[in-house]
Amino acid sequence: MKDLQINQTNLRLAKGDITRCEVDAIVNAANESLLGGGGVDGAIHRAAGPELLAACRLLNGCRTGDAKLTPGFRLKAAHVIHTVGPVWRGGTHGEAELLASCYQKSLELAEANGIRTLAFPAISTGIYGYPLDRATAIAVGTVRTYSENHPQTIITEITFVCFDDATFRAYEQAFEESE
Ligand code: ADP
């Protein structure tokens, strides 16, 4: 399994807990309220401390497919990018476009805020039920296209953090198929 180097940006896979990542920003798979939830969202709020919820309250929520920035507070990451993935409803409700938009908007927000290293969870593939192989193909495809279209990007490293083996295998497959 090798990394993908696209222009300035290294795309890599890692196993583990995103709250422990030493990167400039971690991405949170949030819900539209931005007021915390289960899964990775709950883990990020626990690790960042109550200041994160206070910061999120000021943002007035976030639409599905959009992304918003807060500090990382007690996390090693200086920033959290909160994005809201689509709930899977069979695939005919714009889910693919909305999921791609999560990655695209997160990258644009990172770029605009001087973020060089970024870690993504597998957005929508937990509680929101997005089929893993389709979601990882969209994640890798969108990030790859961004890197190809932004040869001067300041983002040098993008890590897909996999919480379980099935997710890791799905990303490995998506990396292979994107080559
Ligand atoms: P969604 O509501 O967008 O589906 P979830 O948090 O339920 O979000 O799941 C998204 C992905 O994040 C799943 O692959 C889940 O296993 C994973 N996940 C849960 N906790 C963590 C964590 N601490 N670090 C990285 N990934 C995590």
Is 43 near ligand 1, meaning CB less than 6 Å away? yes
State mean pLDDT over 53-65. 98
Q: Per residue in 82-135, pLDDT tens?
A: 999 999 999 999 999 999 999 999 999 999 999 999 999 999 999 999 999 999
In whole angstroms, what is the distance from residue 122 CA to residue 168 CA?
Answer: 10
Does 66 participate in catalysis according to the annotation? Answer: no
Q: Ligand 1 centre from 140 Cα, in Å?
A: 17
pLDDT-based confidence at residue 179 (cuts at 50, 70, 90): confident
Is 21 near ligand 1, meaning CB less than 6 Å away? no
Q: Which of ligand 1's atoms lies nearest the C-alpha of 84?
A: 3
Strand order in the sheet with 157-162: 4-6, 9-15, 157-162, 117-120, 25-30, 79-84, 67-71
Q: Ligand 1 centre from 149 Cα, in Å?
A: 28
In whole angstroms, what is the distance from residue 80 CA to residue 53 CA?
Answer: 12
Is 52 near ligand 1, meaning CB less than 6 Å away? no
- 139 C-beta neighbours (distance < 10 Å), count: 26
Please state the pTM of the whole predicted model.
0.98
Pseudo-torsion of CA 124, 128, 129, 134, nearest 10°? Answer: -20
Identify the residue whose C-alpha is closest to ligand 1 atom 20.
40
Q: Ligand 1 centre from 152 Cα, in Å?
A: 31
Is 127 near ligand 1, meaning CB less than 6 Å away? yes
Q: Ligand 1 centre from 60 Cα, in Å?
A: 23
Q: Per residue in 125-160, pLDDT tens?
A: 999 999 999 999 999 999 999 999 999 999 999 999
Question: What's the pLDDT score for residue 1?
Answer: 59
State which of 75, 88, 163 you would mutate to test the pocket of ligand 1, scoring each by most atoms of that ligand within 8 A of its C-beta.
163
Among the listed residues 3, 17, 41, 165, the single catalytic one is 41
